[in-house]
Amino acid sequence: MEASEMQAIGDTLMRIVTPDMTPKQLIKAARKVHPTASKKDIARAAFFSIIANADQDIGKARNLQAFALAERTQAAE
């Protein structure tokens, strides 16, 4: 995945993430905007977005962190 694609997915995630959203819901919502993105791409973009935006919106960054860690853990199992 190119950096511009990761940035675009990360921007989408920051826009759509809510505290009560499950990982499945977040993936589904992200794929509506980025239909070719894999779960792995979305998780990577979430980590990227956390780093890029943590100082701007700590709540959304925490929600994305929880999602990204959950997806990363599932992939390792």
Amino acid at 76: A
Q: What is the dihedral of CA 11, 48, 58, 13, to 10 degrees?
A: 30
Q: Tell me the per-residue pLDDT of 27-64, one tens digit each, with 9 for 90 and over.
A: 999 999 999 999 999 999 988 888 887 778 788 888 88
> Is 77 a residue whose pLDDT tops 60?
no
The chain-wide mean pLDDT, for the chain, equals 86
Query: Which pLDDT band holds residue 16 (cuts at 50, 70, 90)?
Result: very high
Per-residue confidence (pLDDT) for residue 76, from 0 to 100: 53
